[in-house]
């Protein structure tokens, strides 16, 4: 099972939580951008600019059910949204674990 699978927390709430966590570690100057389905969050920490890109979700991965049946377009959209929420939760958790997580993101 994937971590945070089935989370109900919206991507917007996860981004807000991530910003709060990063601020706690001294980050500042936040930015968020979305281009199609690709998303980016940027901030400044310890005098360095940091950019984290979340790659777009591959819609094709959700066109079929686990049993191989074709999903309706609306169901594909729902599954893609679930995966986006899951990815943001994973990022929040990764950064929230400790200051060490931020150092890892910065490649220290």
**DSSP one-letter code for 28:** E
The domain ranges of the chain are: 11-105
Contact 88, 17 (CB under 8 A): no
CA–CA separation, 42 vs 39, rounded Å?
Answer: 10
Run of H or E including 12: helix 11-24
For the entire predicted model, the pTM comes to 0.78
CA–CA separation, 42 vs 76, rounded Å?
Answer: 29
Average pLDDT over residues 24-49: 88
Query: Which of these, 76, 21, 74, 83, lies nearest to 55 by C-alpha position?
Result: 83
pLDDT for 54-82, tens place per residue?
888 899 999 999 899 999 999 999 999 99
């Amino acid at each position: 099972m994937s971590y945070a699978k089935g989370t109900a927390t919206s991507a917007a709430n996860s981004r807000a939580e991530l910003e709060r966590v990063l601020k706690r570690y001294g980050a500042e100057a936040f930015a968020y951008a979305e281009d199609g389905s690709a998303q980016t969050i940027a901030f400044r920490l310890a005098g360095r600019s940091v950019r984290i890109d979340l790659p777009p979700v591959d819609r094709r991965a959700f066109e079929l059910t686990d049993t191989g049946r074709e999903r309706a377009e609306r169901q594909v959209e729902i599954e893609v949204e679930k995966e986006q929420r899951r990815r943001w939760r994973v990022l929040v958790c990764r950064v929230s674990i400790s200051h060490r997580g931020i150092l890892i993101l910065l490649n220290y």
